[in-house]
């Protein structure tokens, strides 16, 4: 679980554990930096699935697009190398729609993230929640 210390990740990791699965909680506080690609291979070793609940605190595309481009690219590569079967991307309803993200630049990063996972060599599921 990437972003396991965050609002979304904490709750999702708890639910997955309650359902009897083992969760590796990963974020910079546990030595995993998805943007730098640091620690991903070790975190994904033996994992069936990777859940991406990463976030950068910004309203702008200038930060959100490079963040999600680098993180999703590194996560997809590392997951592929480690033989992970599926990536689950937590996203936002409407974020990939230009009619929506044209008015909120953070969503442009989410649109890139969704697109990278949809084209990744590892099968992915995008879960779009409301804010």
The yes or no reply on residue 76 touching ligand NAP (CB under 6 A) is no
Which residues inside 81-110 make contact with ligand NAP, applying CB under 6 A? 90, 92, 110
Sheet with 124-129, strands from edge to edge, namely: 49-52, 86-92, 124-129
Cβ–Cβ under 8 Å, residues 55 and 64: no
Nearest distance from residue 123's CB to ligand NAP, in Å? Answer: 19
- The least distance separating ligand NAP from the CB of residue 126, rounded to whole angstroms, comes to 11
**Window 1 to 30, contacts with ligand NAP (CB under 6 A):** 2-9, 27-29
Name residue 43's beta-bridge partners.
none
Total of residues contacting ligand NAP (CB under 6 A): 23
Residue pair 106/58 in contact (Cβ under 8 Å)? The answer is: yes
Task: Report in angstroms the alpha-carbon separations of 11 from 57, 58, 114.
Answer: 19, 22, 21
Q: Which residues pair with 92 in a beta bridge?
A: 129
CB nearer ligand NAP, residue 22 or residue 29: 29
Please provide the size of the chain in residues: 131
Q: Which of residues 24-63 bind ligand NAP (CB under 6 A)?
A: 27-29, 32-35, 53-55
| Contacting residues toward ligand NAP, per CB under 6 A | 2-9, 27-29, 32-35, 53-55, 90, 92, 110, 129, 131
């Amino acid at each position: 679980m990437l972003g396991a210390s965050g609002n979304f990740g904490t709750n999702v990791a708890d639910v997955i554990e309650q359902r009897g699965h083992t969760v590796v909680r990963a974020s910079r506080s546990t030595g995993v930096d998805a943007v730098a690609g640091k620690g991903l291979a070790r975190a994904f070793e033996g994992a069936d699935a990777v859940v991406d609940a990463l976030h950068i605190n910004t309203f702008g595309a200038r930060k959100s697009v490079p963040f999600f481009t680098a993180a999703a690219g590194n996560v997809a590569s590392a997951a592929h190398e480690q033989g992970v079967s599926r990536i689950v991307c937590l996203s936002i309803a409407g974020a990939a729609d230009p009619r929506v993200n044209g008015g909120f630049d953070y969503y442009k990063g989410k649109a890139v993230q969704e697109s990278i996972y949809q084209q990744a060599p590892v099968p992915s599921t995008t879960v779009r929640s409301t804010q």
